[in-house]
Structure 1
Amino acid sequence: MIHYRQSARAKRISIKIHRTDGKVEVVYPFNVSKKQAERFVKENQDWIDKQLQSLKLCFSAPKFEFNQILKTRYHQIHIHKSNKDFALSYPEKGKYIIHTPNVSSPAYIKSIQQVLTEIYRIEAQWFLPLKTEELAKKFNFRYGRVTIRNQKTRWGSCSSENNISLNLNLMKLPDHLIEYVIIHELCHTLEKNHGKGFWSLMERCLPGSKKLDKELKKYHPQGFYF
């Protein structure tokens, strides 16, 4: 369903797709009629469909299998078939075993996802602050503190006091995108908006930043990528 909204602040017709629920919102100025806005949507329908399909892939439930081995940065997670209730064991350093009677029902898929999220949280709380410190020293940034959260849509943020919040789901991304997000937030300690000054600073620290920003949009914090 497409939601149309007129806005006094809008200078032109824009289409926004909400990554939390896939809602399509069309915002248009008061000097544009709804019929014109609908025509604009029709002209851009292929782009809308492509974005919604990409979002669907991000949110589609991962498929797990018995005897599957999932790898994170520091751990291997083995999925074993069990005749008993869902359970988790940690037989040795760097290895978890998920014992489950089912890998296809929504309830058990959710339980496996919850285990993975907690493992990502453990890894993120150690890895991300160290990586932030490393990159800040490399590019001569100063920041307050780093907090780790499980955010639904944002990979990171920087407060007015230069405290940085990073999403634990960054641990799902390839290394070059993790560094991109951290450098992005470090740049916000000096440039608070996304103006020319910000992107100029990003390019000095990380050439090709706009290309990386585009690549990051292929991922979603609530997705799983193995």
Structure 2
Amino acid sequence: VAGSVGPYGAYLADGSEYRGDYALSHEEYVDFHAPRIEELVAGGVDCLAVETQPKLSEVRAILDYLKAKDPDLPVYVSFSLKDPATISEGLPLTEAVEEVSAYAQVFAAGANCFKLAWTVDVVKNLRASKLPIVVYPNSGAEYDPSVKKWVYPPEAADFGQAGAAWLAAGAKLVGGCCTTMPEDIAGLAAAVKKVYTAFLKYF
């Protein structure tokens, strides 16, 4: 069970988690996140998902806090994106992932809640990373912060078919984010099982 540590931008409820257009001090980020992290840890989570993060400075504050308070708790970090190569605040995704890889308790890094069509390119951009790659896009819908609703594409995506391509590109942890449904995850799980069953027959 992964405890979700979302960004301060989501608390603002104006779409800032997809823009990163806010600025708090290191201490202010810690003050915001610490009580939530403490509740998750007290609840017995196996790891933390520091996810949908648009700003590297916010992630650093979270990881510095965890390094001091709970250094043995596994963590993965997942950024929101401006495009397949850039996190929401404008930094290169590869640079952001390289920075978080310096923290010993981070076991995977990547991106989430971005356009489904970007996924293979996101994975390719991260293949040189020291860490296993985690990706979980949304269903292809786009969030409209002006009305606080998701706008769906005319045709639903086939998550099973798409997921096989993510794995082939080099992703190690895959899933679905906002607007994905149980049937999407079922299709993705089937694709993962098929890929790894084929792989294991050689051993």
Q: What's the TM-score bracket when you normalise by the shorter of the two chains? A: under 0.3
Of the two, which has the highest radius of gyration? Answer: 1
Higher relative contact order (CA 8 A, sep 6+): 2
Q: TM-score, normalised by structure 2?
A: 0.25
TM-score for both structures, normalised by structure 1 = 0.23
